[in-house]
Structure 1
Amino acid sequence: MPVYTTNHAPSVLKTHSWRTAQNSASYLLPHIKPSMKILDIGCGPGSITVDFASLIPSGHVTGIEYVPDPLNDARELATSRGISNIDFQVGDIHSLDFADESFDIVHVHQVLQHIRDPVKALQEMKRVAKPGGIVAVRESASMTWYPENKAITSWLDLTMKMGKANGGNPHPGRYIHVWAREAGFALDKIQRSAGSWCFSSPAEREYWGGSMAGRMESSGFAEGAVRDGFAGWEELGGIARGWREWVGEEEGWFGLLHGEILCWK
């Protein structure tokens, strides 16, 4: 089962809802065709999923999450945008409830880092992809920021420790192609690339730093950190203050590098 270190609290959904097909799946967009069937695993509030559906007017998208928490928001987003060629379900990436060769594209974004067996997950994704279909994966690889901020360093250390302790694989973007080979994809069928996010304008810093600060104060991550002895509320409060200090830095900059792969079946 997933080992996600947080839940779908408002501070988390704020981060996830910012993601779009353009800023989070641009490496895949040239391969999307109007009549495709797409499976989006770990869809969260559906912002990427709904974008996919808008690109395939004669196709269909299914979004799945391992818990139902964010799916009502995803359905409401689809309805608000007049998107009807879409559905959302609860499902487990380790055992997908779909027949072999069901989808033209099977997509995940920052999902494999949160599960215990990413190779098994990729095997399942491969199984439900059609012959000639694509398994698309994007995972964070590294982070950097300016100016130096001890609280943000503490945040990164804490997220790494909790992710590993819970059985996950934090920031695996640099080696997801290795997992794909272990799952049965030939190397010459794996296209590797990199993409990035950058937060530097006042609005971008407020979005990113504000949501990270919120996670330290009220989310499954914060509750788990305290419950399992990784940090106390006072330490988490200090990290939140550090994020807000960074938000106020006129020269503040945060970059996040992702590894990306397209795997042809």
Structure 2
Amino acid sequence: MDRKSESATYTHGHHASVLRSHTWRTALNSAAYLLPHLKPGMKVLDIGCGPGTITVDLAGYVPDGHVTGLERVGDVLVQARALAKEKGVTNIDFVEGDANALDYADGSFDVVVCHQVLQHVKDPIGILREMRRVTKTGGIVAARESDYGSFAWYPDVDGMEKWRALYRKVASSNGGEPDAGRMMHAWARKAGFAASAITSSSSTWCYSTEEEIAWWSGLWAERTVASAFAKTAVERKLATETDLEEISQVWKRWGQQEDTWFSVLHGEVVCRR
């Protein structure tokens, strides 16, 4: 098998402001489209599991089965394993690996899923092919990706569109596709799934309460100046440190407005092998 490795760069990195967002994710708020398809004895592979909050939740939906969380950056798996231990979840393990060349035999899993991964990789279709390869005949490949071009917010504070434009430039320069959500069904077909085997859907994260807005605006205000996103923007001369500080202040200013609201659109696919 071709041992291809990842050539794109994860735009956000693993700064604390990024992990605050990742650890908020659960199976219910990030994989609801998949849950009706899970059965107690299934063997599941979660690609790009990060700190493992979704992965640990998924284990509860397959109590007689097993879930494996795979992550390219091994350091964050310390947090994932600690979470599983804290919650007393034993039908789970976490491994370091590259989704471009999965170290599993054909047909190893009933379900292979990824969340917010394909938008950050150089060859999303190739990864979907790998996911398909290690899925059993009759099994499921599932993926959910956000679509930055479809994000919506209120009120329209001056500078927010500058943030989105910069994010798209940085993500694209890293080899990713920030509008991945709208492309999921097309990528799945190119990966070898018949159109009749693909079920497409969409869902959102919506932030509207005072607590949610403070959390969302705060983490982006910090991420804009302190994460890998900021470092890349400056190193590639896509923005200056002054530009980033101004955008960070825009996020803070937006979060202080009245009747603030933010919606993150995701595209989803469930593909039958």
Q: TM-score, normalised by structure 1?
A: 0.98
Please state whether the residue corresponding to 1:50 is helix, strand or coil: helix
Deviation at 1:217, TM superposition (A): 2.1
Q: Deviation of residue 45 (structure 1)?
A: 0.7
**Pairing 1:128–2:129 present:** no
2:162 pairs, out of 154, 159, 162, with 154
SS of match in other structure, 2:216: helix
Q: Distance in 2 between matches of 1:198 and 1:228?
A: 32
User: After superposition, what is the alpha-carbon deviation per residue over 1:189-236, rounded to whole angstroms, capped at 9, x for unaligned?
Assistant: 000111111111011111111111110121111111111111111111
Give matches, 1:1-265, under 5 Å: 1=6, 2-141=8-147, 142-265=150-273
Structure 1 SS opposite 2:239: coil
Q: Give the Å deviation of 1:3.
A: 2.2
Task: Describe the superposition over 1:103-137 as per-residue Cα deviations: whole angstroms up to 9, x where unpaired.
Answer: 11100111101001011101000000011100001
What's the CA shift string for 1:2-41, capped at 9, x where partnerless? 4211211100000111111101110000011111111000
Q: Secondary structure at the match of 2:74?
A: coil
Question: CA-to-partner distance for each residue in 1:63-114, whole Å, 9 max, x for gaps?
Answer: 1111112111111111111111111111111111111101111001111010
Question: Structure 2, unaligned stretches of length 5 or more?
Answer: 1-5
Asked whether the 8 Å contact 1:6–1:224 carries over to 2, the reply is: no
Is the CA contact (8 Å cut-off) linking 1:16 and 1:45 kept in structure 2? Answer: yes
CA distance in 1, matches of 2:119, 2:138: 26
Distance 2:249 2:259 in 1: 17
2-structure distance, mates of 1:157, 1:150: 13
Question: Tell me, which stretches of 5 or more residues in structure 1 are unaligned?
Answer: none
SS of match in other structure, 2:159: helix
> Number of aligned pairs?
265
